[in-house]
Amino acid sequence: MLTWIMEYQKETYLAFGEHISTFANGGGSAALLAFLPMGLLLGAVHALMPGHSKLLMATYVVGSKGGMRSALLTALVLAATHTTVSVLIVLLSLPLIDYMFGGSGPGSSPVLEHLSRGAIGLIGLWMIWRGLRSTSHNHAHREGAGFGFAAGLIPCPLTLFVMTYATARAVPAAGLLFAVLMLGGVALTLSGVALLAVSFRKAFEKVFLRNERLFSAASRGLELTAGLCMVAVAAFTFV
């Protein structure tokens, strides 16, 4: 399946490049408009690839006590940040890419990666502290949005390609439209992962619901585990 996803991505962004080049040269407007909706499918498929903080998001959702709405908000903020950062890097200054990517090649971003993982590590420490103290919390929406923002700071390499290609041919608006549709696709995939994580946590909680003390211990255990995983990921990135 991974091979198919990679081939599909390659074929789609090559087709995008051809449409953008034709459009930039004064033709193919109708063909480009007909092709743009492919961005939605490309975004959804691209988000299935390793990365995009899916595992971290699922770990956070399982460890938190938010419901479906909170999980969806986390997924949407993560997708929006992940795509928007890429768009802003290209629109604000193309030379900024060289600095943000630290000369380490396309698809990696040391500065933003360290910033993102550092923020996730802090959220993990907060979850560990909260789990140890067994405190109640009623700000799942706010915390979920904060996690989504922190996890999404790493730019999307495919969006960077799309925006750079379109901007280099003086048609950034076309690239932006395609990026917005890709954002929708990424959001769909991440939302599915978030909802599955909530369903898993609820099924897990039902097993212990009859015993209040056991339920409380299991709930704290999930939160502590999620926090430890996030701190471990952050520490591994810095090391």
What the block records as the tokens of 122 is 């802090």
Residue 155 φ/ψ, nearest 5 degrees:
-70, 155
Cα separation values, 68 from 71, 81, 195, 212, Å:
5, 20, 6, 23
The answer to whether residue 55 scores a pLDDT higher than 90 is no
pLDDT confidence tier of residue 107, bands split at 50, 70 and 90: very low
Closest to 181 measured CA to CA, from 105, 107, 87: 87
Instruction: Evaluate if pTM is beyond 0.85.
Output: no
pLDDT digit string (tens) for 76-97? 999 999 899 888 888 876 555 5
What the block records as the tokens of 148 is 């989504």
pLDDT confidence tier of residue 105, bands split at 50, 70 and 90: very low
pLDDT digit string (tens) for 31-40? 888 888 889 9
pLDDT confidence tier of residue 74, bands split at 50, 70 and 90: very high
Look-up of token digits 């979920």: 144
Closest to 19 measured CA to CA, from 217, 193, 175: 175
Cα separation values, 169 from 24, 44, 88, 183, Å:
6, 26, 17, 22
Number of Cβ within 10 Å of residue 65's Cβ equals: 17
